Structures are given as C-alpha cells and as structure tokens.
Amino acid sequence: MIIFKEAKNIHEYIQSKKESGLSIGFVPTMGALHKGHLSLINKSKSAETLTVCSIFVNPTQFNNPEDFQKYPITIEEDIRLLEMNGCDILFLPSYAEIYPHHFLAKNYELGKIETSLEGASRPGHFQGVCMVVEILLSIIDCDTLYLGQKDLQQCLIIKKLIELENIHAKLVISETIREENGLAMSSRNKRLTLEEQKKAGAIYQALNYIKQNIQPGTLDELKFHATNLVTENGIEKDYLEITNLDLIPIQNWDGIKKIVVLTAVTINGVRLIDNMILN
C-alpha cells in the first residue's frame, strides 16, 4: 500500500492512473477502522482497479470539542488492517493539507435535511462533513465513492453535495455491518466497555421491534415501546424517528410508503446512531 501525506502528490498520482485507464474507488474514513470500513474497501476492490482510503479526523464536523478530543485514533492498527485487506493507497493528511491558510469555508444549501435528526442535535455537523468531503473528492478524483448505510443521513447529505457541486463520482451505499448482538459497527464502539457494548445490543432490538410490529396507522405507541427497550438498559435516547426516505418524520403510516427508523442514543457519553429500512 502506498501512503501519501500530501494532497498534491496523491492528486497527481491518481490523475496519472486515471489517464492510463484505471478506475478509482474511494473510502473516506476518520480511522479507528472496523469491519464496516473493511467491507467498503472490499466492495471497492471487487469493482474498481484502484482502491483509495483516507484517514482524517475532521475537526469541522464536531460540534462538541470533547467528542473530537476523545475520537479513537489507532493509526498503526488501521494501516495493518488496510494492508491485510489489499487497499492500494492511503491518504493520511495533516490539518494544513486539508485546510490550507487560504481556505475559505462556504455554506452549502442542503435544505431541511441538514437540520433534522443528527443535524438538530449537532448544529453545523453536516456543513463540516460537506466541507471535508468536497475537499477530499477534489484531491481524490474518484469514479466511485463508498459509504456505509449506518450514517444514512450523511449518505443523503453527500448525495446532495455531489448534485450541488456537480461532482462526477458515483455514490455506492453499503449495508450496515453489525456485531453478533446486532450493534452497528462504529469507531465510537471502541470507547464502550464490554458491558456497555452488550447493553448497546438493545438499539438493534428496538429497531427490529419496530420492523416486526409496524402496522398502518399512528406510530406513537410503537415508538414508545421501542424507546423503552433502549432506555430500560440505561441507554439515553436522543431521538427515535420513523421517516420517509427523504428523512421527513411521519406520524401516520399508510402501509405503502417506503419508511425507515433512525435513532441516536448516548451510552456513558458516547453517541451512537443506527437505522433500519422498514419495508
């Protein structure tokens, strides 16, 4: 695996590979890699001729400084995992490579999706995500961008960014990879004790409960019972919402429309999110 730390060098290298006809798959990450990331690397490897991964813990997407400071960093282990999984190129930039002095932040017109759910609890988060992803995509001019469904709202925001900024990359969203107890794989799980990881299986149980029991009509009671499954395990709920595929909450389901349940919880100060398509 070739490791690049400078934007100019990786950009030139990728351009030369594209000119010689290779297709580029890109998996952006903030490191602390797990099987979810590796499944994206493997998906890219089976479709593209070159697979690039980036590791950059992006400060502009953290609204909470403590969350940023505590974000797990496991670079050596990440490099080992990427090499074992046959990743071709790793981009490991410094802050100044991504945000040089002359960098001017812009405001993305993302519409309502920016301020709902994650956006409501983490103001400015999706502007920061768009900022870094646009920069990364301008450096790594990929053919296909691979993201995980666990961050569904982020996926939809990045889809919008690609349209807004006329970026030519195709977006592929891959299924959430889970632990045995159903807990969605996340870098933040590394901050949980084993006991907390066990308890966190209740998040998946709550989503599954909704999937198994949903009926046309009002959804309040169903959400109430699902929320209890989480909170009775000492997990704090931020939101648990049933929405359409544009992530607009619905109170009454017609039994036909495609819907999804999304949740965010905190366990001992660690924020976890998950979602499940219901039909």
Active site residues: 37
For residue 151, give the DSSP letter: G
| Position 119 contacts ligand PAF (CB under 6 A) | no
CA distance linking residue 9 with residue 188, whole number of Å: 31
Name which of 143 and 151 has its Cβ closer to ligand PAF. Answer: 151
Q: Could you say which residues in the range 135-154 bind ligand PAF, by CB under 6 A? A: 151, 154
Tell me the CA distances in angstroms from 49 to 23, 130, 167, one per residue in order.
5, 26, 20
* CB of 29 vs ligand PAF, minimal distance in Å: 5
CB atoms closer than 10 angstroms to residue 209 = 18
Name which of 5 and 257 has its Cβ closer to ligand PAF. Answer: 5
Pick the piece of the chain touching ligand PAF (CB under 6 A) from 1-9, 78-86, 87-95, 125-133.
125-133
| Residues making up the chain, counted from first to last | 279
| Position 55 contacts ligand PAF (CB under 6 A) | no
x/- string (CB under 6 A) for ligand PAF, residues 181-210?
------------------------------
| Position 30 contacts ligand PAF (CB under 6 A) | yes
Query: At 157, phi and psi to the nearest 5?
Result: -65, -45
Which of 33, 82, 129, 262 forms a contact with ligand PAF (CB under 6 A)? Answer: 129
Pick the piece of the chain touching ligand PAF (CB under 6 A) from 28-36, 81-89, 249-257, 260-268.
28-36
* Gyration radius of the chain's alpha carbons: 19
Cβ atoms of residues 158 and 129 within 8 Å: yes
Beta strands across the sheet bearing 270-277: 236-244, 259-267, 270-277
- DSSP structure string for 27-40: EEE-SS--HHHHHH
* CB of 157 vs ligand PAF, minimal distance in Å: 10
For residue 257, give the DSSP letter: S
* CB of 214 vs ligand PAF, minimal distance in Å: 28
CB atoms closer than 10 angstroms to residue 91 = 26
| Position 61 contacts ligand PAF (CB under 6 A) | yes
Contacts with ligand PAF by CB under 6 A lie at 28-30, 58, 61, 129, 132-133, 151, 154
